[in-house]
């Protein structure tokens, strides 16, 4: 136990050794919350070697879960098997695989994590439905009159789809919006298309991301299942508790019931950035009240220099939505104020971007041009459009950089094709994968179906490839299906085939392959699920692709959870940061302004060595006009102007 507590501060030790009773820990930026959380898990496991209960630890990213699991394993070795350390979605997936049949969800479903694929699925389902109504096969509805051509469908469905996802994240499905309580709030076509979307997913045995938590919530309303879960997991630990949306919040409540004694939450309401995803300060307060949680605070920041901490404290104290009697953060970093901060005001964004580029060149030189080193330099702006000028300057100077929010999980068409083939092999009638494969091979999907009546969609693809010139692909596919080859061998063979094609973007394709290989290695190592193709595809869907090499170009939201030696915060102007939508004089805008302030607070506190803040007097609008910009009110609140 001494090894676990060694190196912890007194406030951290107090949190780790408090093991009986509901506890909320307020851990500010750089407070070592991951260290505290993992030390606490290890401390409980180490004090209960001969007991059989497990610990459930939930976080929001696979990266965080992996780091937590590795740290716990270093402390307690094989005892780590007494934990589930993962994301909310990963835990819900695990529950649905094990018990989903009790609510009509078989364990052979496939997770779709790509919005475009799901939108395409819904568009095609709507076209088929309208055609059936037109032919008199189904009773005519408002859909027949309203969605009479493909353009109307294409323009309408994406916004409907995102509305459906938002509702499902609040645990509202198509059945619920048709109740007397909600029905009058939605148009008839919206309700019909929502019902069609869920029907289509069920027919094709697909779950979208929002389904995982929604259906797990339904599952946990089965008394014998939730009692079983509570018996297994004696301790429940929630990381980043301020970011729980209503679905996750309800999930926590239903798992804990009314009298759960060992709920542990690490949170910082000053870093709540996801109100757009229904995360609310009030949810945290309700949990505190419901479980009569003791509140402890770790207010040291072992990351940020004292000057950065001073600016952050001045900024965030202007917010009202905060825990009462919260102490300001203090710095455990001994870098001098003179060396840790610089503020500049420029005439234009172009001049600002030029300064950032030159300073980055200088910083790289000071660090032996080690551009491949992680977490060295980042540039943070309120939105990606503000960062365009920075991207251009870094491109001109050939400075490697990456923009995580613009990167797809899988970047190349060829790798997406391989994965869609895997999906179709896993589910021979997966229409979305089938459409994507036909598109890649320039096949008319309707002709393929018409010529292969009585065959599955996969068999139709195989028959059509065999009649065409792409026999190398066919040979690999046929060998895999007929000889029951392992899917990893098939994946490697197809990858090698595409590497041999001259027009493949080799570098991006290589990165895609490396990412998938890494996910596969983790899938085998962690061994949560049986080693079959569908399980791997679902594991891949639940996995995230982390950044790149070089200077990180981030929005405030994307910077959360990260830290860098040198941080640039650019274009801190009124109407940009805070965003113009938060500056109206009404209650909703006041709440938005508080989130804008939290967003800026998070950006400030990514800094380990030096922070650069800047604003500009003018910017060029999209129409080419020169527009004057005032400095951000946040600069005033920090005492910089």
pLDDT in tens, 156-178: 899 999 999 989 988 999 888 87
Task: Write the CA distances from 626 to 120, 230, 391, 467, 623, integer angstroms.
Answer: 41, 61, 21, 60, 9
Q: What is the mean pLDDT of residues 326-333?
A: 88
Instruction: Collapse the DSSP code of 629 into the 3-class scheme (helix H, G, I; strand E, B; otherwise coil) and give the result.
Output: coil
Instruction: Tell me how many helices (H) and strands (E) the chain has.
Output: 28, 17
pLDDT reading at 405 higher than 60: no
pLDDT reading at 92 higher than 70: yes
pLDDT reading at 502 higher than 60: no
Question: Chain-centre distance of CA 140, in angstroms?
Answer: 40
pLDDT reading at 102 higher than 70: yes
Half-sphere exposure in the Cβ direction for 282 (13 Å, CA): 4
Q: What is the mean pLDDT of residues 298-319?
A: 94
Task: Write the CA distances from 336 to 24, 305, 333, 339, integer angstroms.
Answer: 33, 7, 9, 5
Q: What is the mean pLDDT of residues 473-501?
A: 72
Q: Provide the β-strand partners of residue 294.
A: 23
- Give the number of other Cβ atoms within 10 Å of residue 92's Cβ: 28
DSSP state of 205: T
pLDDT reading at 528 higher than 60: no
The whole-angstrom separation of Cα 360 and Cα 394 is 9
Lowest mean pLDDT among 262-266, 347-351, 483-487, 531-535: 483-487
pLDDT reading at 489 higher than 80: no
The whole-angstrom separation of Cα 510 and Cα 504 is 10
Lowest mean pLDDT among 192-206, 215-229, 478-492, 568-582: 478-492
> Please, what is the end-to-end C-alpha distance for the chain in angstroms?
50
- Asked if 46 and 318 touch (Cβ cutoff 8 Å), the reply is no
Lowest mean pLDDT among 128-132, 391-395, 423-427, 582-586: 423-427
Residue 208, phi-psi category: left (phi > 0), alpha (psi -120 to 50), beta (remainder): beta
Which alpha helices (H) appear in 106-149, and where do they start and end? Answer: 115-134, 142-146
271 vs 336, higher pLDDT: 271
Instruction: Collapse the DSSP code of 401 into the 3-class scheme (helix H, G, I; strand E, B; otherwise coil) and give the result.
Output: strand
Torsion angle defined by CA atoms of residues 623, 626, 630 and 634, in that order, rounded to the nearest 10 degrees = 50
Among 133-137, 184-188, 316-320, 498-502, which range has the highest average pLDDT? 316-320
Q: What is the mean pLDDT of residues 432-459?
A: 85
pLDDT-derived band at 619 (thresholds 50, 70, 90) equals: confident
Q: Which helix (H) or strand (E) holds 613?
A: strand 607-620
The whole-angstrom separation of Cα 225 and Cα 377 is 48
pLDDT reading at 418 higher than 50: yes
pLDDT reading at 134 higher than 60: yes
The verdict on whether omega for the bond into residue 476 sits within 30 degrees of 0, i.e. cis, is: no
pLDDT-derived band at 460 (thresholds 50, 70, 90) equals: confident
Task: Write the CA distances from 78 to 72, 74, 229, 570, 597, integer angstroms.
Answer: 10, 9, 22, 47, 43
Which residues are within 8 A (CB) of 476 and not within 5 positions of it... i.e. 6 or more apart? Answer: 490, 493, 494, 497
Q: What is the mean pLDDT of residues 23-37?
A: 92
- Asked if 146 and 461 touch (Cβ cutoff 8 Å), the reply is no
Query: For the segment 547-568, what is each residue's pLDDT rounded down to a tens digit?
Result: 667 899 999 988 888 899 999 9
pLDDT-derived band at 318 (thresholds 50, 70, 90) equals: very high
- Give the number of other Cβ atoms within 10 Å of residue 87's Cβ: 21
Task: Write the CA distances from 121 to 153, 157, 554, integer angstroms.
Answer: 12, 10, 32
Tokens linked to 563: 């830290």
Q: What is the mean pLDDT of residues 470-481?
A: 71
Question: Chain-centre distance of CA 287, in angstroms?
Answer: 23
Lowest mean pLDDT among 25-39, 90-104, 231-245, 617-631: 617-631
67 vs 487, higher pLDDT: 67
- Asked if 330 and 300 touch (Cβ cutoff 8 Å), the reply is yes
Angle between helix 413-426 and 457-466 (nearest 10)? 130
- pLDDT (0 to 100) of residue 529: 52
Sign, CA dihedral 367-369-370-375, equals positive
- pLDDT (0 to 100) of residue 406: 47
Residues in the chain: 641
Which alpha helices (H) appear in 233-348, and where do they start and end? Answer: 246-256, 281-290, 306-316, 337-340
| Cβ-based burial of 564 (10 A; exposed 0-12, middle 13-18, buried ≥19) | buried
Instruction: Collapse the DSSP code of 21 into the 3-class scheme (helix H, G, I; strand E, B; otherwise coil) and give the result.
Output: coil
Q: Provide the β-strand partners of residue 305.
A: 333
Q: What is the mean pLDDT of residues 333-339?
A: 76
- Asked if 525 and 568 touch (Cβ cutoff 8 Å), the reply is no
- pLDDT (0 to 100) of residue 481: 67
Q: What is the mean pLDDT of residues 305-310?
A: 94
- pLDDT (0 to 100) of residue 119: 92
- Give the number of other Cβ atoms within 10 Å of residue 631's Cβ: 16
């Amino acid at each position: 136990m001494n090894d676990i507590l060694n190196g912890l501060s007194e406030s951290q030790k107090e949190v780790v050794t408090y093991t009986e009773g509901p506890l909320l820990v307020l851990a500010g930026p750089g407070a070592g919350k991951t260290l505290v959380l993992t030390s606490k898990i290890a401390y409980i496991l180490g004090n209960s070697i001969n007991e059989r209960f497990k610990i459930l630890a939930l976080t929001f990213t696979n990266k965080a879960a992996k780091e937590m699991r590795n740290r716990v394993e270093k402390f307690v070795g094989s005892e780590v098997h007494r934990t589930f350390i993962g994301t909310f979605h990963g835990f819900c997936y695990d529950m649905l695989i094990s018990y989903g049949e009790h609510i009509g969800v078989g364990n052979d479903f496939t997770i779709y994590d790509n919005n475009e694929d799901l939108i395409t699925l819904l568009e095609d389902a709507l076209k088929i439905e309208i055609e059936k109504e037109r032919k008199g096969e189904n009773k005519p509805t408002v859909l027949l009159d309203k969605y009479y051509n493909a353009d109307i469908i294409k323009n309408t469905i994406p916004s409907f789809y995102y509305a459906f996802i938002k509702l499902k994240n609040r645990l509202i499905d198509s059945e619920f919006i048709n109740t007397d309580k909600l029905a009058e709030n939605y148009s008839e076509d919206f309700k019909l298309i929502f019902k069609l979307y869920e029907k289509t997913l069920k027919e094709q045995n697909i779950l979208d991301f929002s389904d995982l938590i929604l259906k797990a919530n339904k599952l946990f309303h089965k008394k014998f299942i939730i009692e079983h879960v509570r018996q297994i997991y004696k301790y429940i630990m929630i990381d980043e508790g301020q970011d729980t949306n209503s679905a996750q919040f309800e999930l926590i409540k239903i798992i804990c019931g009314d009298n759960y004694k060992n709920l542990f939450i690490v949170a910082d309401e000053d870093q709540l950035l996801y109100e757009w995803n229904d995360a609310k300060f009030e949810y945290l307060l309700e949990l505190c009240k419901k479980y009569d949680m003791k509140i402890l605070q770790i207010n040291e920041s072992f990351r940020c220099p004292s000057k950065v901490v001073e600016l952050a404290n001045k900024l965030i104290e202007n917010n009202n939505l905060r825990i009462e009697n919260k102490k300001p953060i203090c710095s455990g970093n001994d870098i001098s104020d003179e060396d840790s901060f610089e503020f500049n005001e420029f005439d234009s964004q172009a001049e600002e971007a030029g300064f950032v580029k030159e300073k980055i060149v200088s910083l790289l030189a000071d660090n032996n041009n080690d551009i491949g080193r992680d977490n060295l330099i980042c540039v943070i702006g309120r939105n990606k459009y503000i960062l365009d000028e920075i991207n251009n300057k870094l491109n001109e100077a050939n400075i490697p950089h990456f923009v995580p929010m613009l990167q797809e999980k899988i970047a190349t068409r060829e790798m997406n094709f391989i994965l869609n083939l895997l999906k179709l092999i896993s589910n021979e009638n997966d229409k979305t994968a089938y459409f994507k494969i036909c598109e890649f091979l320039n096949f008319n999907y309707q002709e393929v179906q018409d010529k292969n009546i009585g065959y599955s969609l996969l068999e139709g693809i195989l028959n059509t490839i065999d009649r065409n010139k792409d026999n190398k692909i066919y040979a690999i596919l046929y060998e895999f299906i007929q000889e029951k080859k392992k899917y990893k061998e098939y994946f490697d063979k197809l990858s090698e085939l595409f590497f041999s094609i001259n027009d493949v973007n080799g570098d991006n394709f290589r990165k895609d392959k490396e990412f998938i290989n890494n996910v596969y290695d983790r899938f085998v190592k962690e061994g949560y699920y049986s080693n079959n193709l569908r399980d791997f595809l679902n594991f891949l869907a639940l996995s995230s692709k982390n950044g790149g090499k070089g200077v990180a170009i981030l929005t405030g939201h994307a910077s959360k959870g990260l830290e860098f030696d040198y941080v640039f915060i650019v274009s801190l102007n009124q109407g940009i940061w805070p965003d113009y939508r938060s500056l109206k004089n009404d209650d909703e805008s006041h709440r938005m302004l508080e989130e804008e302030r939290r967003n800026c607070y998070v950006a400030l506190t990514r800094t380990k060595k030096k922070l650069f803040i800047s604003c500009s007097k003018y910017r060029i609008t999209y129409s080419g006009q020169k527009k004057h910009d005032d400095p951000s009110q946040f600069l005033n609140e920090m005492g910089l102007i």
